Structure 1
Amino acid sequence: MVTVNIGMLHYVLDHVYGAFVHRTKLSPPFFSRGWGGTKLDLLEKMIKQLFPEQNWPPTLVQPVWKTVWESQTATLREGFFKTPCDHQLLTALPPESHIARVAFLTPKYTPSHKTACVVHLAGTGDHTFERRLRLGGPLLKENIATMVLESPFYGKRRPLLQRGSKLLCVSDLLLLGRATIEEARCLLHWLDCEAGFGKMGICGLSMGGVHAAMVGSLHPTPIATLPFLSPHSAVVAFCEGILKHATAWEALRDDLSMHEASMTLDEVKERMRNVLSLTDVTRFPIPKDPSAVIFVAATDDGYIPRHSVLELEKAWPGSEVRWVRGGHVSSFLLHNGSFRRAIVDSLNRLKWKESPL
């Protein structure tokens, strides 16, 4: 009788998928054009500007909306607005990324002050609204609206020379994150001050979960914060997990060698660790209500090692980690119910905002 280790099968599936997507020549590797030069220098200097609370409130964006469809119970709108990033970041972003796009799925007749809304951020390779709308759609019956942000460098915001989700430079990864955080914070401010929602939350899967954790950390009031299948830092994804096989290490070494002495690949990887340490969520402030933070992690994740999730839980006492059986890919496909349950439970741990007179 042959005993099948289901956990190992999930782990192997991650590696098979990763080999097909990242080790074939179907698309170039990540960072094939190097580090990003002066853009990377700028981002390394600016990263600490995320922390001071005087950065709140952010710019109040005013999305321009159009109705895509409406039913007896729900309305789907799409909107756009100019990214609120400051001049330095706007100059660093590709022109295609200057206009942010959002989809907004709301229950039709429930007043906003009796409705919660969760902003869903994109994981690596999630270029459209559809997957996140499918995740949020069933939550309408719980009076939970869904707002989906299209990331810079993705979808209609993708630079002309970029193929798929394979960012051209390391600086693009930090730019994507910084702009996503700015835009998500502005959308939460709009949901609170303009739309008047009674509760709010932020969630994301994988890379989107890292960004969601950062946004939840920086928000001045308690919000539901839901990182799904997420590491504590991009270091884990690109230097330890499967994406290390999708990184153009030789191109990064050649780029560095143009400005410094010849370097070994190990030295290049150490440089990458130093740069991506800027994305370490454990260095961010503890959210205002850690009990409303629920991490959902996979038991056999080939992209995100277990220790990374435990570092998040340790850094934010009072938060909760929930484990689903599977790998990164299989959990992404099979555990939407667990993600939705976490969203509902996290929002239930928050108080309703006082209703308008």
Structure 2
Amino acid sequence: MVTVNLGILHYVLDHVYGAFVHRTKLSTPFFSRGWGGNKLDMLESMIRQLFPELYGQNWPPNLVEPIWRTVWETKTACLREGVFRTPCDEQLIDALPPESRSARVAFLAPKFVSPNRMACVVHLAGTGDHTFERRLRLGGPLLKENIATMVLESPFYGQRRPILQRGAKLLCVSDLLLLGRVTIEEARSLLYWLETEGGFGKTGVCGLSMGGVHAAMVGSLHPTPVATLPFLSPHSAAVAFCEGILKHGTAWEALREDGSVHKASMTLEEVRERMRSVLSLTDVTRFPVPKNPNAVILVSATDDGYIPRHSVLELQKAWPGSEVRWVTGGHVSSFLLHNDEFRKAIVDGLNRLPWKETSL
């Protein structure tokens, strides 16, 4: 009788999928056009402004005013899509490709429920999540819990993807920082809209993989308690690109050649060290503990080839009171099989928040 170790199978599945997506010539690797030159230097400076202990939180954000259209509605629910100009400052807008300067959201909400007795969660995109569909499927069953879903299309993805970019493979390292910085600004503005214009009684933010890193940052920076729900997420993008499977999909040689233009010839190890240094700006453990850490629930996979276990535990340690829930599987299989666990974390995180007081 042969005993199969399911953990190894899940881990192998991640590597098989990663080999097909990242090691073949079916698509270009990440960062095939290098670091991003002066744009990278500018973004490194701007991202440091996210650290409140140094520069303050810049709250409240610019209020977004989406232009809505109804996609469909039933007797109990309605799906709308909205478009708005990104609320970032002009320096960030100028750095964005023209295709990314208008943001898109999908908004799925129950009907005939007072907003102050309803919750809404902003869902942020993981790597390669170009459409609204997967996140709407995740949020749809939560309608019966009076939980609405707002899905943000990230810059560089979907209809916001630059014309020269193939799929999710960002052309420059600066694009990754810009994607994150703009996503955080837009998500913070959407939460502010939900709380001030929408009147929702509770709010939260979630995301899978890269989206989970961004969700953790948004939850950290929010001035009032929100449910913060990172799924299958590292504590830093440096882990994903320098330790996990994505390191095999990174154009290290192109980065070495680009870096050697500005200094003496770099070794590949020096290139990887520079990448770790640049992406340390995305280290969520450097961000403040959210206002209600008990409403932080991380859902992580036991055999994740993309996200090492130690990375998850580093964030939990940095945010005392947060909870980690482990699901059996790898990154790919958990993405496909554990939506119920993600939904339960959303419900439980929101249940750990008080309803906002409303005036009579």
Which band: TM-score by shorter chain? over 0.9
CA contact (8 A) 2:75 2:111 kept: yes
Residue identity matched to 1:86: D
CA distance in structure 2 between the partners assigned to 1:141 and 1:287 by the alignment: 28
What is the CA distance between 1:192 and its match in structure 2?
0.3
In the other structure, the counterpart of 1:331 is: 334
What is the CA distance between 1:51 and its match in structure 2?
2.9
Q: Deviations over 1:295-344 (max 9, x none)?
A: 00000000000000000100000000000000000000000000000000
Task: Give the match's secondary structure for 1:8.
Answer: helix
1:285-304 equivalences under 5 Å are 285-304=288-307
In the other structure, the counterpart of 1:351 is: 354
What is the CA distance between 1:268 and its match in structure 2?
0.4
CA distance in structure 1 between the partners assigned to 2:251 and 2:68 by the alignment: 40
CA distance in structure 2 between the partners assigned to 1:314 and 1:60 by the alignment: 34
- The answer to whether structure 1 residue 85 and structure 2 residue 94 are counterparts is no
Residue identity matched to 2:96: L
In the other structure, the counterpart of 2:70 is: 67
In the other structure, the counterpart of 1:110 is: 113
CA distance in structure 2 between the partners assigned to 1:293 and 1:38 by the alignment: 36
- The answer to whether structure 1 residue 13 and structure 2 residue 16 are counterparts is no
Task: Give the match's secondary structure for 2:325.
Answer: strand
Residue identity matched to 1:83: T
CA distance in structure 1 between the partners assigned to 2:226 and 2:60 by the alignment: 15
In the other structure, the counterpart of 1:35 is: 35
In the other structure, the counterpart of 1:306 is: 309
In the other structure, the counterpart of 1:195 is: 198
> CA separation of 1:339/1:43 partners in 2, compared to 1, >3 Å: closer, same or farther?
same
In the other structure, the counterpart of 2:241 is: 238
- The answer to whether structure 1 residue 127 and structure 2 residue 162 are counterparts is no
In the other structure, the counterpart of 1:45 is: 45
What is the CA distance between 1:355 and its match in structure 2?
2.6
Task: Give the match's secondary structure for 1:55.
Answer: coil
CA distance in structure 2 between the partners assigned to 1:54 and 1:14 by the alignment: 38
CA contact (8 A) 2:50 2:57 kept: no
Higher mean alpha-carbon deviation, 312-321 vs 54-63, is at 54-63
Out of 171, 174, 177, the residue aligned to residue 171 of structure 1 is 174
Residue identity matched to 2:186: E
What is the CA distance between 1:356 and its match in structure 2?
3.9
CA distance in structure 2 between the partners assigned to 1:333 and 1:277 by the alignment: 29
Q: Provide structure 1 residue ranges, at least 5 long, that are not aligned to the other structure.
A: none
In the other structure, the counterpart of 1:2 is: 2
Residue identity matched to 2:191: L
What is the CA distance between 1:46 and its match in structure 2?
1.2
Task: Provide the aligned C-alpha RMSD in A.
Answer: 0.6
Higher mean alpha-carbon deviation, 45-54 vs 129-138, is at 45-54
In the other structure, the counterpart of 1:162 is: 165
Give the TM-score taking structure 2 as reference length: 0.98
Residue identity matched to 1:102: V
CA contact (8 A) 2:57 2:221 kept: no
Q: Percent identity?
A: 82
CA distance in structure 1 between the partners assigned to 2:288 and 2:86 by the alignment: 25
In the other structure, the counterpart of 1:138 is: 141
Residue identity matched to 1:24: T
What is the CA distance between 1:49 and its match in structure 2?
1.3
Out of 256, 259, 271, the residue aligned to residue 259 of structure 2 is 256
- The answer to whether structure 1 residue 267 and structure 2 residue 250 are counterparts is no
What is the CA distance between 1:195 and its match in structure 2?
0.5
What is the CA distance between 1:54 and its match in structure 2?
4.5
CA distance in structure 2 between the partners assigned to 1:356 and 1:109 by the alignment: 20
Q: Deviations over 1:248-267 (max 9, x none)?
A: 00000000111110011011
Give the TM-score taking structure 1 as reference length: 0.99
Residue identity matched to 2:103: A
